[in-house]
Amino acid sequence: MCGIVGIIGTKPVADAIVEALRRLEYRGYDSAGVSTLENGRLTRARAEGKLRNLEARLSEVQLGGHTGIGHTRWATHGAPTEQNAHPHMTSKVAVVHNGIIENFQELKDDLVAYGAVFSSETDTEIIAHLITRYIEEGATPIDAARRCLKELSGAFALAILIEGQENLMIVARQGSPLAIGYGDGETFVGSDAIALAPFTNTITYLEDGDWAVLTRDGAEIRDLEDRIVNRPVQKTIATTLLVDKGNHRHFMAKEIHEQPEVVSHTLSSFADIAEARIVLPDLPVDIEKLDRLTISACGTAYYAGLIAKYWFETYAGLGVEIDIASEFRYRNVPLKSGGLSLFISQSGETADTLAALRHCKASGQKTVSVVNVPQSTMARESDAILQTLAGPEIGVASTKAFTCQLVTLACLAIGLGVKKGLIDRDRERELVNALVSVPRHMSHVLQMEDQFEDICHILSKARDVLYLGRGTAFPIALEGALKLKEISYIHAEGYAAGELKHGPIALIDENVPIVVVAPGDELYEKTHSNMQEVAARGGQIILLTDQDMEQNGLELAAKITLPPTHPLVHPLIFALPVQILAYHTAVFMGTDVDQPRNLAKSVTVE
């Protein structure tokens, strides 16, 4: 994740900005930079690599000015070079950005036609040129920024300076967190409260869609419809603690809301976003000869593997043998020497998964692990790792790690398909762009959160809850049931919808809520038939779908309609509703959401 800091201060700000950026180093980055307004003129210093390189550059150029913005960059568009480091600027505008601008190429083409001269490969630079263009066409700085924001599509956080405007900074949040800090005659902005802790603990967190005009006297916050909105001002305790709950009641809630940002960060590890191309690290197998693989994991990570099985079959033509690690390791799975075994684990310390890895290594397998902790035991013992960049996941119930596992596995499946000649360039571009749109769609779903809270009252009264799904929605049904039972303690079961008539339908009566995960894909009609069978027996149907499918008079207890998306990304989008339903039900039940009874974050014993 990139890091953003901004200060409208009363003394020179360059060094203070670097100190604040240092508190964001935990997010990972590969270049950094600062821009200030000195006597109304925009200045800049940038450097590849770590902040010490930027400090060396600053000691040479000595940026003055009491207003400035800074950035640590994790490369998405363009290589991690000084040229691509933020801030990006014209003579009139400087901008720092976290996230992905999906429609940057079309905006860039228009700007080049207008005469803009670009100096970087980044998507970010189009923001500086677009605002500059509007100012040159007569718009005020604020109007120019407002117009630019309305044209951007994607998930992003921004901080913008305008030449000659030393008491002005414009910031925006769409999918990537941003906090405003209030000082004595000074105003601050940062990717999180941790960055602002040296300056203030009086914070406002922007919500998705918010943008704000900052001056030394404070901030005017507006929503997407330009209505002035009031967001709560709170005291934060973020000090040296590198992880805090932000403006959320629980770590789980914060981690659910971090998903647009960490999914885009993880995606940018395995894809060249600008080229819409998968970029995989070297794998310890001859991919052309690869015709099958085994997958082993536990819990939520296992459900990620179940979804990946569909993708490996569909996009890479690979046969997949998958099992939960505690069973896999005691079976006698025929393992072809030199074959590929894949392991999925947030912690990288789960005893059963680690034992399965060691079993496979002893059987001559090449081992690749999808892990969130790069220095974990599994990471160290694997032949190769694919690291998810979810950041620290504190809540026992896995959320952001799950969707980061999914985006990693999707990139792996597509990448293997490309290398095996099963996916041509157009299809690769289509699939990668579908993944690029995920943060934006996730952000839209998160903005629907209040619709879910009403449904939780239905679930909270239940003794048993059934989750149904087909295809890649089936493991999401399993994951939804696991989320609900592990944090609310309500019994829940996930089932393949097609299995209903083979037993579970005996459970159905008016006391049993059934959560149906049903994207509008080629399986929807069959799932619709299952819903009719359930309704006929009085079951309370809670339908999660992504388009206004005809319900043909079906009686629903509730329905949530998500934004329509590419079939590849349905599991990533539908993961959020089942997470949110479980979270709000548990909050309603009054359980310990972050530390549910009997559970540990990492099961390091068998």
Residues that bind ligand AGP (CB under 6 A): 298-301, 345-347, 350, 353, 396-398, 486, 602-603
Sign of CA dihedral 46, 52, 56, 58: positive
Q: What is the DSSP track for 504-555?
A: GGGG-STT-EEEEEE-SSTTHHHHHHHHHHHHTTT-EEEEEESS----TT--
Least distance CB 596 / ligand AGP (angstroms): 9
Give the ranges where 152-250 is alpha helix by DSSP (H).
193-196
Nearest residue to 52 via CA among 5, 18, 88: 18
Task: Tell me the DSSP string of 122-177.
Answer: -STHHHHHHHHHHHHTT--HHHHHHHHHHH--EEEEEEEEETT-TT-EEEEEEBS-
Closest CA to 69 of 243, 187, 177: 187
Q: Give least dist CB 599 to ligand AGP, A.
A: 6
What single-letter DSSP state applies at residue 341?
E
236 versus 345: smaller Cβ distance to ligand AGP: 345
Q: Rounded CA gap, 269 and 271, in Å?
A: 6
Closer residue to ligand AGP (CB): 289 or 597: 597
State the nearest-atom distance from the C-beta of 517 to ligand AGP, in Å: 17
Among residues 427 and 601, whose Cβ is nearest to ligand AGP? 601
Q: Which of 428, 421, 403 is nearest to 307 (CA)?
A: 403
Q: Tell me whether residue 3 or residue 596 sits nearer to ligand AGP (CB atom).
A: 596
**Which residue has its beta carbon closest to ligand AGP?**
299
Q: Which residues does the annotation mark as catalytic?
A: 2, 601
Quick one: 247 or 259, whose CB is closer to ligand AGP? 259
Cis, peptide link before residue 87, omega less than 30° from 0: yes
Q: Which CB, 96 or 256, lies closer to ligand AGP? A: 256
Rounded-to-integer distance, Cα 107 and Cα 116, Å:
11
| Beta bridge partners of residue 187, listed in sequence order | 8, 182
Which sign does the torsion angle of CA 199, 202, 207, 210 carry? negative
Measured from the CB of residue 385, what is the shortest distance to ligand AGP in angstroms?
13
CB of 258 to ligand AGP, least distance (A): 16
Question: Which residues are CB-contacts of 602 (< 8 A; sequence separation ≥ 6)?
Answer: 346, 347, 349, 350
CB proximity list for 540: less than 8 A, separation 6 or greater: 458, 510, 512, 513, 514, 557
Token digits for 28?
A: 């990972």
Minimum Å gap between C-beta 241 and ligand AGP is 22
**Nearer residue to ligand AGP within complex by CB, 355 or 448:** 355
Closest to ligand AGP by CB, 33 or 469: 469
Residue number, 179 or 322, with CB nearest to ligand AGP: 322
Nearest approach, Cβ of residue 605 and ligand AGP (Å): 11
The structure tokens listed for 240 are 């040296």
DSSP of 80-113: SSTTTPSPEE-SSEEEEEEEEETTHHHHHHHHHH
Output 275 or 327, the one with its CB closest to ligand AGP: 327
Tell the residue number behind the tokens 């690690």, with chain if given.
325
Helix 438-446 and helix 570-589, axial crossing angle in degrees, nearest 10: 30
Report in angstroms how near the CB of residue 288 gets to ligand AGP at its nearest: 31
The whole-angstrom distance between residue 472's C-alpha and the CA centroid of its chain comes to 19
Give the list of residues 6+ apart from residue 178 with CB closer than 8 angstroms, or none.
4, 157, 159, 171, 172, 189, 190, 191, 205, 206
Within 339-490, residue ranges assigned H as helices are 351-362, 377-381, 400-419, 425-436, 438-446, 449-460, 473-488
Q: How far is the CB of 299 from ligand AGP (least distance, A)?
A: 2
At its nearest, how many Å lie between ligand AGP and the CB of residue 213? Answer: 41
DSSP per position, 288-338: GG--EEEEEE-HHHHHHHHHHHHHHHHHH--EEEEEEHHHHTTS-----TT
Residues 6+ apart with CB under 8 A from 301: 344, 345, 346, 350, 353, 370, 398, 401, 402, 405
Q: Report whether 246 contacts 254 (CB < 8 A).
A: yes
**In the complex with ligand AGP, which residue's Cβ is closer, 398 or 437?**
398
**Min CB(347)–ligand AGP separation in Å:** 3
Residue for token pair 């419809």? 225
